[in-house]
Amino acid sequence: MITAGVAFALAAALHAGFQLTVTALVYPVLARVPASLWRDAHARHSRLIVPLVGMTYGALVPTGAWLLASSPSTLGVAAVLAAAGSVVVTAVAAAPTHGRLVTPDPALLRRLLRADRLRGLFAVLALVLAVAALG
């Protein structure tokens, strides 16, 4: 039988892998799209990323809730809080910035890339803490 800690660690690994891929590959490529191709590239990116975000957060949120409901260690709580930090950065910075990127505005792209790096940091921290909580 899988435990809440193992389930959350697996979800945190999925989340960290997804987030690091977006940070290292997806957004840098998107940021270099020429203005003449921007609208189509951004729309395609948005269409393709939504199911992956849904799957990733769809694993992270319930396993985090399960972990919290199972009387976790301090490290387990910290892992869930770190993952929540990534979700909050998405909600308050990355998603709204994406919505405003009708054209490849350099200031908005810089903001998006900064928010994304912060999400990546939170995701990796959540994974490290979740694995440490298993020990």
- pLDDT of 84 reads 98
Q: What pLDDT digit, counting tens, does each position of 28-67 carry?
A: 999 999 999 999 999 999 999 999 999 999 999 999 999 9
**Residue 30: domain span:** 4-134
Q: How many domains does the chain have?
A: 1
- pLDDT of 20 reads 96
CB atoms within 10 A of CB 25: 10
CB atoms within 10 A of CB 3: 12
> What b/e sequence results for 91-100 when a residue is b if at least 16 CB atoms lie within 10 Å of its CB, and e otherwise?
eebbeebbee
CA 127, CA 64: separation in Å to the nearest integer?
12
Query: What's this model's pTM, rounded to 2 decimal places?
Result: 0.94
8 A C-beta contact, residue 26 and residue 45: yes
Low-confidence ranges of the chain (pLDDT < 70): none
- pLDDT of 26 reads 94
